[in-house]
Amino acid sequence: MPNKKSAIKALKQSEKNRVANKSAIKRIKTERKKFIAFIESGNLEEAKKAFCLTQSLLGKAAKTKLFHWKKSARLTARMAQKFPKDNYV
């Protein structure tokens, strides 16, 4: 257990950030899985909505340094490739 006041505060902050980061990562994973399920079922309208939402979440994750910006770009590009060629967003 930390003894100094600043160390106690740092511990509280890091725990709070850890929980928030875990929640954000889980939400991104869930939305990506929904997107893939829509693509596989052929529901392109729902897939487009899910793509836009996931793309937004990935951009925010990169902006807040939750993911490296290149990882966010890579995941977004791979999702975009899953669309049929004639129905790209």
Q: How far apart are alpha carbons 68 and 58 in whole angstroms?
A: 10
Residue 89, pLDDT above cutoff 60: no
Structure tokens of 74? Answer: 């890579």
Domain positions in the chain = 5-84
| Topology given in CATH for the domain delimited by 5-84 | Methane Monooxygenase Hydroxylase; Chain G, domain 1 (1.20.58)
Task: Report percent pLDDT > 90 for the chain.
Answer: 90
Residue 39 CB-half CA count within 13 A: 20
Mean pLDDT, all residues of the chain: 94
In terms of Cα–Cα distance, which of 61, 50, 63 is closest to 25? Answer: 61
Residues 12, 19: Cα–Cα separation, whole Å: 11
Residue 85 confidence class, pLDDT cut points 50, 70, 90: confident
pLDDT, tens digit (0-9, with 9 covering 90-100), for 3-44: 999 999 999 999 999 999 999 999 999 999 999 999 999 999
